[in-house]
Structure 1
């Protein structure tokens, strides 16, 4: 057989393998009815390419739920995550897409309940002591009030979608400390903000386990890719529009959240 013929056969085989793999991936999702719930981290705020139908919810075609849907072609896909959503907002506005036919659910939630946006604003604009106080307040809320709110929400998800696998994703550290940043807030503030994420993830993981849901910790996969990180940055620092600040960018969604969710879906 000539060299050209060998190469041609090899390329054809490779193409068939890729096609077969793609078909198998989509076949595995046949019958999957997927609902993507949650806040801005699930909506894809910070990654751009927002859909016009989503309005102020800012759902992105680069968000991990949208990317998973595009890759797996489930039987149905309900993308209702919304920027700024709290546990109460999910209960009021998002659970309507769930039913006994739902087989897969993803969610990030809890950061807005604990005052993520206002805490970040305080830490960026005000003194170190003000930042540490705001972080302590957020952590106190996360440990005392948030568990009950998550338990209630998870219970309602379980009631409305009793046959679904529910994947709860956590929040990454925003900063690598010490990191490469010369300017910006102090490492003391950065460490405090990261500790709030630790507290939040601990609470979320416990409540997810109590509900029988799968919790995916994204802190490890984001390590080195945080703001001031040593590798390609997967999180926005202060940027425009301001609402995109301190959220995963397109790389953070595709390389951080998507593989974490895919591993559990």
Structure 2
């Protein structure tokens, strides 16, 4: 009996130490990332479209004070914070318009990019307005682009980031699955929802491969969003938002703070 109690005590002690060390490591990593400059690049999932509270100075880029980038910077106080992510951005837009603040003093870069190149919104419009077969055809076209053309586009962006910030830690965040499957849900058919989710997985897999080849870090947000997809009853993503149609199929404030921020924090 005493041995059993002693073993339980040791087990609890080791668990507490492990939790403490894990927390300390996470805090230390965040402090290290915050010692230099942080630059947040990317598309609408990085700008925070869908989260509201947009910076008036950002115009159509819709940069939000509730975006993961803004929230992380507020919590960690990097020496400088430059927020150039822009709604609608593609890889070429990042190269042309977003890399200005990235330099040798940059210690952390975050980015989501690739969804618009693959035709994300056109896929959603097709799947919402047209038949199952039309949706599947458009998804397959997007998947083919991801296989044939997107890798080279991503390589161009990642190489440019590394050239401008040789010592920066680069965290490339992925995209969530949009729908919970197997749930009673008005709107898209199960066939369409599954095809869209599978396409998100396909895109994330392609991005993760290029990220690994460049020595960057991939932040997979799919586990964090599990249970918070559209049709889940606790969604962190907008469905069709008639009040602001551009916010449709983007993370809301909860998706940014509960989905993206922890993944960036864990990988920064």
What's the TM-score once normalised by structure 2's chain length? 0.87
Map 1:40-189 to 2 at 5 A: 40-181=44-185, 183-189=186-192
Equivalent residue for 1:234? 236
**How much does 1:31 deviate?**
2.3
Equivalent residue for 1:216? 219
Matching residue within 244, 259, 263 for 2:262: 259
Map 1:17-28 to 2 at 5 A: none
Return the alpha-carbon distance in structure 1 between the equivalents of residues 235 and 133 of structure 2. 28
Consecutive unaligned residues of structure 2, counting only runs of 5 or more, are 1-23
Distance 1:30 1:149, change over 3 A: closer
Consecutive unaligned residues of structure 1, counting only runs of 5 or more, are 1-20
Deviations 1:63-87 (A, max 9, x none): 0000001111110000000000000
Return the alpha-carbon distance in structure 1 between the equivalents of residues 34 and 226 of structure 2. 34
Return the alpha-carbon distance in structure 2 between the equivalents of residues 37 and 225 of structure 1. 25
Equivalent residue for 2:203? 200
Deviations 1:1-29 (A, max 9, x none): xxxxxxxxxxxxxxxxxxxx9xx888656
Return the alpha-carbon distance in structure 1 between the equivalents of residues 42 and 85 of structure 2. 4
Contact 2:34 2:107 in 1 (8 A): no
Contact 2:107 2:169 in 1 (8 A): yes
Contact 2:33 2:108 in 1 (8 A): no
Return the alpha-carbon distance in structure 1 between the equivalents of residues 86 and 245 of structure 2. 16
Equivalent residue for 1:11? none
Return the alpha-carbon distance in structure 2 between the equivalents of residues 250 and 208 of structure 1. 27
Contact 2:55 2:64 in 1 (8 A): yes
RMSD across aligned positions (CA): 1.4
Aligned residue pair count: 241
**How much does 1:40 deviate?**
0.2
Return the alpha-carbon distance in structure 2 between the equivalents of residues 27 and 141 of structure 1. 39
Contact 1:29 1:73 in 2 (8 A): no
Return the alpha-carbon distance in structure 1 between the equivalents of residues 78 and 128 of structure 2. 41
**How much does 1:179 deviate?**
1.9
SS in 2 for 1:97: coil
- Runs of 4 or more, structure 1, over 6 Å off, are none
Return the alpha-carbon distance in structure 2 between the equivalents of residues 32 and 114 of structure 1. 33
Deviations 1:193-232 (A, max 9, x none): 00110110000000000110000111111011000115x2
Distance 1:262 1:27, change over 3 A: closer
